[in-house]
């Protein structure tokens, strides 16, 4: 039992204990009531989009200036939603780049989706860091809204059949990302 400086037992008013109990219960229940849009996507067809390429055309032999997700069907796709001002995005970018290079020849297409930035900032930021995968620009957050992206970075893994396999928010380490990619391939 906790005591004060004079070794007297400390007491907590019942109203404080009740308030703490309600708060703990609320935090345990709320995620079940308000399921994030991301969780609703898993197992469903990935929302399609067409976004302007800022850097690294996906098919250099036939540049067209845009990436349409549905045209990538038959390949595993990793969507990386990020912004230049996002510290965790900056930490995750080298991890994504290594995975993109490691699995490019095995059929993985990584698409970096720059959102919440000015177009020029995203292009310059990605070029400065030597990112080798296609970077597209989500001009009006159309793709971000379709995928329920509320926090950055957000990764979405899409299967060869075009279904969402996984959604991860926050920095995903190399080992977990590699496991997700292997699942998609």
Cβ proximity of 163 and 45 under 8 Å: yes
Give residue 19's pLDDT. 59
Give residue 40's pLDDT. 85
Distance set, CA 123 to CA 11, 57, 103, 106 (Å): 59, 12, 23, 26
**pTM score, two decimals?**
0.79
CATH, domain range 37-184: 3.40.30.10
Per residue in 23-80, pLDDT tens?
Answer: 555 544 444 444 455 668 999 999 999 999 999 988 766 557 999 999 999 999 999 9
Average pLDDT, the chain: 85
Q: What's the token pair of residue 67? A: 């990436």
Q: What is the DSSP string of 91-146?
A: HHHHHHHHHHHHHGGGTEEEEEEE-SS-HHHHHHHHHHTT--S-EEE-TTSHHHHH
Minimum mean pLDDT range among 22-36, 79-93, 99-113: 22-36
Q: How far apart are CA 34 and CA 3, in angstroms?
A: 40
Give residue 27's pLDDT. 47
Average pLDDT of the residues in 134-143: 95
Residue 18 CA, chain-centre distance (Å), reads: 37
């Amino acid at each position: 039992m906790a005591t004060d400086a004079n070794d007297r037992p400390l007491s907590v008013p019942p109203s404080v204990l009740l308030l703490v109990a309600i708060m703990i219960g609320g935090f345990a229940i709320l995620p079940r009531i308000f399921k994030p849009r991301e969780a609703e996507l898993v197992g469903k067809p990935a929302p399609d989009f067409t976004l302007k390429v800022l850097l690294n055309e996906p098919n250099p032999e036939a540049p067209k200036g845009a990436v349409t997700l549905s045209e990538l069907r038959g390949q595993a796709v990793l969507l990386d939603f990020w912004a230049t001002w996002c510290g965790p995005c900056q930490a995750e970018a080298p991890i994504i780049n290594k995975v993109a290079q490691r699995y490019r020849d095995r059929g993985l297409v990584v698409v970096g989706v720059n959102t919440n930035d000015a177009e020029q900032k995203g292009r310059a930021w990605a070029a400065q860091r030597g990112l080798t995968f296609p970077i597209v620009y989500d001009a009006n957050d159309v793709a971000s809204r379709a995928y329920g992206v509320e926090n950055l970075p957000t990764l979405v893994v899409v299967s060869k059949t075009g279904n969402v396999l996984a959604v991860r928010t926050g920095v995903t380490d190399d080992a977990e990302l590699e496991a997700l990619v292997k699942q998609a391939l």
